[in-house]
Structure 1
Amino acid sequence: MMFRTRTLLATAAIAATTMVVLAGCSAAGGAPAEAYDPDEKVSIDFAFWGNDDRATRYNDLIAAFNEEYPNITVNTTFTDFPSYWEQRQVEAASGSLPDVFQFSDSYLRQYGETGNILDLETVSDYIDFSTFEDALLGTGRLDGTQYSLPTGFSLWANFVNNDLLAQAGIDVPEGGTSYAEFNEWLASVTEATGGAPFGGTDYTQRIQVFELQLRAEGKSLYTEDGELGFTEEELTDFWESGAELRDGIAIPQQQLEEISPISGFGSTRTASEMSWSNFLGGYLADSGASSISIVAPPTDDPDAKDLYRQGGLQVAISSKTDHPEAAAIFLDYVVNSPKAGEIFGTTLGFPASSSKLEGTTLEGPDLQVAEYIESVEDRIGDTPPAAVVGYGSLEQKFWDLGKELGLGTKTVPDAVTEFFSEAQVVLG
């Protein structure tokens, strides 16, 4: 495998722990009253969001787990992402969360501040935290408490369809250029092809790009206290910077609406698109491209530490579980075992723990993502503060308003006012 494993092992780790508790629920958890019997036959519930492919992989993993722990029966349930969190919120309110469940860092503050998920330090004898870098552990840590651990991580990236560029006679853009230089490249593609394809999309629709620009200035989307970390003026400047993109450089929003849920890049109507690094496989499948390059996103500060390891998909334990030790043993197997790396590859994100990575075969798109992660190592900074309660709805609002700007149904001042009004409601 042509890859510097030592460096990747150093970059591939984040342990995120997340306690989920809704208002009105009392905190629970802690050391068990009785000594743990490792031979006792117990049954635990495990819930996850995903599809049939993910379910098959989990079934294979549980079969391997039971070869080592035949006394721990794992019962699984899964559904799609929106339905998944609706069910978890009902269970959190009634104190009946599954013993172990897939978690998201977007819900860390919401569930962690109310005590529905276990402090993993209380079961630290059964979980290996040493395989994770502290920055990755930080994605599941709130106020010094480790609530969840990540299965993998992603970095923000810029994808480019090499096939389309070759047809147009355009070179792949350099990574890490200024936003102005990247806009010039986007315009050159659109002009050369007459918009078939366009150079890219209006990236100012994505809150992640706004976040990178804030991080380059030493700021963040949210504060440690769970409040917005930016002003109306800063959001106004960001959305106004997208005016030239919306004025003929980027694909018109109306075209994107017509092909949704496939993206402009996935449908080959654009030559580039920014998203998370783990999207490479999906982009290859959607576009049918024989080759897609991953380059660093633009930045106006070459020395910025604006990128970060996003450990969105994590695993947590209910604070009300009757079997905290068995739950911890299974959680550790999911996030740390080489077998999990062998079975899942990078489908749950690029392996966050060094031990899981050891079992992962890096080839094809997986190796390409690994090489991209290594190439931008110098731009990776600290983990941002935990997302505010209601982050998911604010992220969606940001995107929806960006689309309205693209359609011309909303002005920038009106969009900014509406976003901050929504944030005031969400943040209380």
Structure 2
Amino acid sequence: MFNRKRALAGVAIATGAALALAGCAGGDTPAGDATFDPNEEVTLNLAFWGNDVRAGLYNEVIAAFEEEYPNITVNSSFLDFPAFWERRQTEAAGGNLPDVMQFDYSYLRQYSENNLLLDLDPYLDGIIETEPLAQNILDIGKVADTTYAIPTSTNAWGMYTNPVLLEQAGVEEFAGGSWDDYSDWIASVTEGAGGQFWGGTDYTGRIQNFELQLRAEGSYLFSEDGEPGFDEERLAQFWEDGAELRDSGAVIGQQRLEENLPLSGFDSALTASELTWDNFGAGYLGNLGEAYPSLGLVAPPVTEEGAKDLYLKPSMLHAVAANTEHPEAAATLVNYLINSPKSGEVFGTNRGLPASSTALEAADLDPLSQQIADYEASIEDRLGDAPPVPIVGYGTIEEQFRTLGTELGFGTITVDEAVSRFFTEMDVTLNQ
């Protein structure tokens, strides 16, 4: 059995000294009846990660928000992603998190389980409009059946392909099928490329592909309580499939990938396909350059026909700090940032494909963004419920999986050794 301490990694909060949930039910307002007082003069602090471009977009949306709600003043600040979370950890320890925060999925369980985030359920269907948000999208922001964040945007696991390389290899787009069909397709592309590029990379180096297969089989990576949904034998089977693919020479070698860093094989035109999140497309196009003006985007291989193996994941979310003195005003700002047409018009797909239908309708989608929207619509029959919010330590476990995949690629360890190391390291991570 794997047990884990529910402690916020890197945040020094003494036992029993967790932050009080200030106004978590809208002060004395009964749940479901939280309202906003338009006469109360309020100042809110908003924090997000990004760059100057994103900051300019936020400033434009905030200006429109303040015009509509003249009694609310919003002070915003931004940092790059690592510095953003370092600052939040310091603020969490001192009980002074910003009122509203752009939030990352991987931190949602840590912060919510330590009573650092406001329960948003009292504001749903009221201050926070839920009609523009599908239920499976709203559920993404839940931990233990309580809503702590609202997704701004979504993405899904997919397969990008390079049409120019496929034409050079004389191979048609992957038409769907099993993982074996995909491996055969990779081999045909590699053969057609004549040593100039490869059909793909070893897909068993990504924990998301393992999760996809587990979900199709009716299992999962980790339960709500942090229990793994797989054993040593199942992981060994997955990595053995990768060994066969690597030994065949159909995929790009690990040494070649390492030499190409920080670019991946796909965005340097060394591989013709890549399984990844669908919001990676813009980065691929930017790195590939004008010689590769478009990408293909198709569904991943199928493990079991009819399985609900895919799911929508938030590109990012918005959350409210439990220590906010103005929960109703903060919820009002969250609603505007996610649901307002102005937000969709200004942000477009800067934060990912808008999760709200009203924001999406107002967004001017470029060809790639429209392609992603069409892709997510095309996989609707394969979309199941999102898995539980990532367990504390998931990022470490994902990196352990990737590292072992790299060592398997170099041939420095066997599959049995990799499986043994993974379970040992996973046990340590889950019990620290």
Q: Which residue of 2 is the match for residue 80 of structure 1?
A: 80
One-letter code of the match for 1:110? Q
Q: Which residue of 1 is the match for residue 188 of structure 2?
A: 188
CA distance in 2, matches of 1:259, 1:39: 58
1:155 has 2:156 as partner: yes
CA distance in 1, matches of 2:413, 2:345: 48
1:103 has 2:96 as partner: no
CA distance in 2, matches of 1:38, 1:227: 46
Q: Which residue of 2 is the match for residue 226 of structure 1?
A: 226
CA distance in 1, matches of 2:82, 2:403: 17
Are the equivalent residues in 2 in contact too, given 1:266–1:286 (CA < 8 A)? yes
Specify whether residues 185 and 192 from structure 1 end up closer, same or farther in structure 2 by C-alpha distance, changes over 3 A only. same
Cα deviation, residue 365, structure 1? 0.8
1:167-207 CA distance string (max 9 Å, x none) = 221111113x1000110110111112133111111111111
Bigger Cα displacement from structure 2, 409-418 vs 112-121: 409-418
Bigger Cα displacement from structure 2, 124-133 vs 349-358: 124-133
1:122-141 CA distance string (max 9 Å, x none) = 34432112221111111111
Are the equivalent residues in 1 in contact too, given 2:36–2:127 (CA < 8 A)? no
1:118 has 2:118 as partner: yes
Q: Give the count of matched residue pairs.
A: 408
Cα deviation, residue 104, structure 1? 1.8
Q: Secondary structure at the match of 1:75?
A: strand
Cα deviation, residue 244, structure 1? 2.3
Cα deviation, residue 424, structure 1? 1.4
Cα deviation, residue 261, structure 1? 2.0
1:365-398 CA distance string (max 9 Å, x none) = 1111111112111111111122111111111221
Q: Secondary structure at the match of 1:249?
A: coil
Q: Which residue of 1 is the match for residue 208 of structure 2?
A: 208
1:32 has 2:27 as partner: yes
Q: Which residue of 1 is the match for residue 260 of structure 2?
A: 259
Q: Secondary structure at the match of 1:404?
A: helix
Cα deviation, residue 53, structure 1? 1.8
* Structure 1 length-normalised TM: 0.91
CA distance in 1, matches of 2:419, 2:67: 56
Cα deviation, residue 409, structure 1? 2.3
Q: Which runs of 5+ in 2 are unaligned?
A: 1-7, 30-34
One-letter code of the match for 1:214? L
Q: Secondary structure at the match of 1:301?
A: coil
Q: Secondary structure at the match of 1:427?
A: helix
Structure 1 ranges of 4+ moved more than 3 A: 20-24, 33-37, 122-125
Cα deviation, residue 27, structure 1? 4.1
1:380 has 2:383 as partner: yes
Are the equivalent residues in 1 in contact too, given 2:36–2:329 (CA < 8 A)? no
CA distance in 2, matches of 1:77, 1:337: 21
Are the equivalent residues in 2 in contact too, given 1:195–1:251 (CA < 8 A)? no
CA distance in 2, matches of 1:337, 1:307: 28
Q: Which runs of 5+ in 1 are unaligned?
A: 1-19
Cα deviation, residue 401, structure 1? 1.4
Cα deviation, residue 33, structure 1? 5.1
Bigger Cα displacement from structure 2, 209-218 vs 342-351: 342-351
Are the equivalent residues in 2 in contact too, given 1:227–1:388 (CA < 8 A)? no
Q: 1:326 aligns with which of 325, 329, 341?
A: 329
Q: 1:401 aligns with which of 400, 404, 410?
A: 404
What RMSD in Å do the two structures reach over aligned CA positions? 1.8
Q: Which residue of 2 is the match for residue 94 of structure 1?
A: 94
